[in-house]
Amino acid sequence: MSHSLNGRDLALETVAALAPGARYTLAPEALSRMAQSRAAVERAIAKGDACYGINTGFGAFANRRIPREKLLELQANLVRSHSVGVGTPLDAEHVRRILLLKANSLAIGFSGIRPQVVEALLQLLAADVLPVIPGKGSVGASGDLAPLAHLALALIGEGSATQAGRLLEGAEVCRAAGFEPVSLEAKEGLALLNGTQVSLALAIAGWARGRRLLESTLAVGALTCEALAGSHTPFDARIHDARGQAGQREVARLVRSMLGDSQIHASHADCDRVQDPYAIRCLPQVAGAVWDTFEHAARVLTGETNGVSDNPLIFGDDVLSGGNFHAAPIGYVADFMAIALTDLTSMSERRIDLLDRRVNPALNMFLTTEPGVESGFMIAHVTAAALASENKTLAHPSSADSIPTSAGQEDHVSMAPWAGHKLLQVCDNAAIVLGIELLVAGHALDCQRPLQTTASLEALHALLRRNVPFQPRDHRLDGDIRAATALIESGAIAALLNG
């Protein structure tokens, strides 16, 4: 099945879930707009006025006029000279998203690029011929130049790509996708390189993973509340309606949907504990703020997905040079999501400690069967603490930094790609910490049998036990942690919350 691409209505969920071999074609209205802007570029060339990137040099060479007979060489040299990326190549999932995001932005029709160049991008996507794009080398302004240059190399038959695990080089990259190497015309190399699609792809990946982690946190947090014999009162709707924070209200509602009358809840009806620690009691306030953060990020990233971020742009016969390539909006929300997830991770680590510290008198310290002879989950908490601390360092905002480049012409940059890379590392750590909490809370529930919890939490516990069998005595936990983390990352826990 082929999907139509018009540059205006591509959803984040579609980009996040992009599968190998996805097929897209340019919509008729996109083809029309692109033809008009391309014709405007040709008229500008014929007229001979100085137009940045069309008949001038780039960056610090913006004031150098390029003769007409050198315009095609200018574009090819741009791609070659900017292919300076280093580091581990981006994962396949990110490259697929970059291809689609780049094509969608160019389809809007303000970039002066021929439709056949964008169709070649879509052919690479459909054939799952994925350009090898080094992960480092971009400062996020003027766009993601170095990584996108490696993408453009694949189009002109000078790059590398993979297909089904096989490395392709040069012209065979193009032929594997069903087209001959593209000869870039005036403005086209710049349109391909000058954009924020690498930063955007990383941020969207972090947004999608972070949403799953947030939803999983609510389900696992409810399980921990029950395992700790916690109070349900802090989740009362009246408390959250009084404050008026939308995310907080929604989080409290979702947690309430997992809690309710149960044998475990009834067993501590007459306990003398007045209040629970903040890691339980303030879950709606903190996770609700994270919820609102991700809602804000979704709005920003959706706008960027369906916007134009190269330069210059073509409006009728006007060729306007601006700065849409500056990835500050992406960098800010990637940093914001990393900060929010770091706080969520820190709170999960605190709940693990509460479970280990016998806050519920029905449990032994560290959930041991024979305290002293066994250590139980003592050191699993240490691993969680190590990762929570690591996230606090990773949460330092990349967007607070800038370093001038291109002889001062590009004197303020966004660092959005690094913000995206760090966001994904924060997600990695958050998933492990939450997996450890799931293990410990599940074990605490087992220690209270034959008492039962709610139907929703029993379903969550059963899902855990299908993947990690209950073992009451000390044993290796690293495999259990990997299995629980995989369960978190799969979205199965989040699906229970939404079910």
d(CA 439, CA 429): 16
Nearest to 198 by CA among 330, 14, 294, 288: 330
Cα 174 → chain centroid: 29
* Assigned token pair, 468: 């990690």
With H, G, I as helix, E, B as strand and everything else as coil, classify residue 342.
helix
d(CA 225, CA 305): 39
Cis preceding-peptide flag for 131 (omega within 30 of 0): no
Orientation angle between helical segments 246-258 and 283-305, nearest 10 degrees: 120
Helices (H), 107-144: 115-127
Ramachandran region of residue 422, left (φ > 0), alpha (ψ -120 to 50) or beta? Answer: alpha
Nearest to 454 by CA among 275, 270, 274, 227: 227
d(CA 279, CA 291): 16
Is residue 52 part of the annotated active site? The answer reads yes
Indicate the length of the chain as a whole number: 499
- Round the CA-based radius of gyration of the chain to a whole number and report it: 26
Strand order in the sheet with 130-131: 130-131, 160-163, 166-169
Question: Which residues face 136 on adjacent strands?
Answer: 86
Ramachandran region of residue 368, left (φ > 0), alpha (ψ -120 to 50) or beta? Answer: beta
3-state secondary structure 170-228: CHHHHHHHCCCCCCCCCCHHHHHHCCCHHHHHHHHHHHHHHHHHHHHHHHHHHHHHHHC
For strands 130-131 and 23-26, give the pairing. unpaired
Nearest to 199 by CA among 139, 289, 272: 139
d(CA 376, CA 368): 5
Running DSSP on this structure, what letter comes out for residue 369? S
Active-site residues: which are they?
52
